[in-house]
Amino acid sequence: MANKQLSTAPTGAVLWGSIRGNFHSLIALLIAALVLSIIYFARDPPPPEDLVTKPMSDGIAATVSPNPSPTPSPVRDDKCNLFSGRWVYDNVTYPLYKEKDCKFMSDQLACEKYGRPEINYQYWRWQPHGCDLPRFNATALLERLRNKRMVFVGDSLNRGQWVSMVCLVNTAIPSDSLKSYKFHLNGSLIVFTAKEYNATIEYYWEPLLVESNSDDPVNHRVPDRIVRVQAIEKHARHWSNADVLVFDTYLWWRRPKMNVLWGSFQSLDGIYKDVTMLRAYEMALNTWSQWLEVHVNRSKTELFFVSMSPTHERAEDWGGVAGRNCYEETEPITREDYWGTGSEPEMMRVVEKVIGDLRDRGVTVQILNITQLSEYRKEAHPTIYRRQWEPLKEEQLANPMGYADCFHWCLPGVPDVWNELLYTLMFKNWVSKG
């Protein structure tokens, strides 16, 4: 199971589907170069890889407050667990943007464009049990990020969240966009700049957080994963001075053992050992937390860690037919506290422990606990409705389930809600910091 998971770990190819005519030509060139290099390098197979104020259409959401409060309203009840709740069908407020209107959409996530027959996955709102989420206000977020740098650091799930964030923010930027934003790629870093705000929202490819042989932003699908659990500086120097940091790392670890390297990839006398995954994960997260402790300005930088993004590869988990996966699922799971085999609680315990220890040393990382809420959304993955990096073989076409991507998430969709939660936490802090 774990090995299968890993062989289908998230792809890293960064691809921007809908490059519009009005795009800056230099950017278009950069992207074209990237696309070419992806076509050249990506040889590995892709993964089958306010309180919310609007009255809701379906009348289910009796808890929704009738009076829209202007954004950004903090969640008033500090004790409310934002991550415990249920999904409510809402085709009035959602989606928060249109897939085709987002210039930054990734072809890996553009399920509608790639022919998904029904798009109900776009119409769900997250309703916490004890409170309502504030409405996402892109202008308020940009104001908040004025003269600041926000960086998402991690794997392709985190990149999906970044794409979602840029799409959300883009709704507040005038359509005469050449003057308004710029977009550039530099190695592992992708930078979106909202010019009037001098604000950047960036993504940095670093799938295991520490150094590994999967660090190349394009050509990272290597058969044997090697990880330097004690080395992070090569990456961290590029983001340590950011004002907001959002990390994740999970799926790339899913195998029983990790090959750990002491010494550099270049050195001839490096020492390699197999270490059980959970222990190696803890070592890596400790390296990461020590870096934060020493290098991050704690009065300036806000830190977030996004918990495991669940996969839906085994329909038995939710009472479906054995041998099937998320392919052709159209409804969320409604069973309270559903938890599938795609998420490993022990890994969450490790994250909690490392972050708890770091808090004791005076650095706070807030956990964006999206695992449970995303567990319910078995229908929200791209499955076969995404760009395929390589032409499909006949036997694949004959068995679509075999190459269905039950890892990533269609956009607009679940990661938008992760960002609404992130937004809520950011404004909550802001308010409480006065």
- Positions that interact with ligand NAG (CB under 6 A): 57, 70-71, 83, 91, 137, 139-140, 143, 147-149, 186-187, 198, 200, 297, 299-300, 348, 352, 367, 369, 371-372
Pairing of strands 189-194, 199-205: antiparallel
Report whether 115 contacts 121 (CB < 8 A). Answer: no
What single string gives the DSSP state of each residue in 331-393?
S---STT---TTS-HHHHHHHHHHHHHHHHTT--EEEE--HHHHHT-TT-S-BT-S--SSPPP
CB of 205 to ligand NAG, least distance (A): 12
Q: CA 160 to CA 146: how far, in whole Å?
A: 23
Please, which residue, 108 or 137, has the CB nearer to ligand NAG?
137
Tokens in use for 174? 């005038």
307 CB contacts (<8 Å, ≥6 apart)?
248, 250, 348, 351, 367, 368, 369, 370, 371
CB of 313: closest distance to ligand NAG in angstroms? 20
CB of 50 to ligand NAG, least distance (A): 7
CB of 428 to ligand NAG, least distance (A): 15
Question: Which amino acid does the sequence have at 404?
Answer: A
Q: 83 or 265, CB closer to ligand NAG?
A: 83
C-alpha to C-alpha distance for 9 and 47, rounded to whole angstroms: 6
Q: Catalytic: which of 90, 132, 405, 416?
A: 405
For ligand NAG, which is the closer residue by CB, 43 or 359?
Answer: 359
Which of 130/270 has CB closer to ligand NAG? 130
Q: What's the closest the beta carbon of residue 242 comes to ligand NAG, in angstroms? A: 8
Q: Which is closer to ligand NAG, CB of 234 or CB of 279?
A: 234
Q: Toward ligand NAG, which CB reaches closer, 18 or 57? A: 57
CA separation for the pair 409, 416 (Å, rounded): 10
Catalytic site includes residue 177: no
Give min distance, CB of 48 to ligand NAG, in A. Answer: 26
Q: Report residue 228 as tokens.
A: 């330097």
Residues 6+ apart with CB under 8 A from 74: 134, 427, 428, 431, 432
- Whether 156 is catalytic is yes
**For residues 352 and 357, which CB has a smaller minimum distance to ligand NAG in the complex?**
352
CA gap 116, 410 in Å, rounded? 10
Residue 387 CB, nearest approach to ligand NAG (Å): 27
* CA atoms of 193 and 122, how far apart (whole Å): 27
Instruction: Decide: helix, strand or coil at residue 271.
Output: strand
Residue the block writes with tokens 């943007």: 97
Residue nearer to ligand NAG on the CB measure, 71 or 106? 71
One of 164, 309, 408, 416 is an active-site residue; which one? 408
408 has catalytic annotation: yes
Ramachandran region, residue 71 (left: φ > 0; alpha: ψ -120 to 50; beta: rest): beta
Distance in Å, CB of 352 to ligand NAG, minimum: 5
Helix (H/G/I), strand (E/B), else coil: 197: helix
Spell 372-389 as b/e; 16+ CB within 10 A means b: bbbbbbbbbbbbbbbbeb
Count of Cβ atoms closer than 10 Å to residue 408 Cβ = 29
In the complex with ligand NAG, the residue whose CB is nearer, 147 or 175, is 147
Distance of CA 295 to the CA centre of its chain: 24
Eight-state DSSP code of residue 198: T
Residue tagged active-site, from 50, 90, 155, 156: 156
The distance of closest approach from Cβ of residue 197 to ligand NAG in the complex, given in angstroms and rounded to an integer, is 9
Active site residues: 156, 405, 408
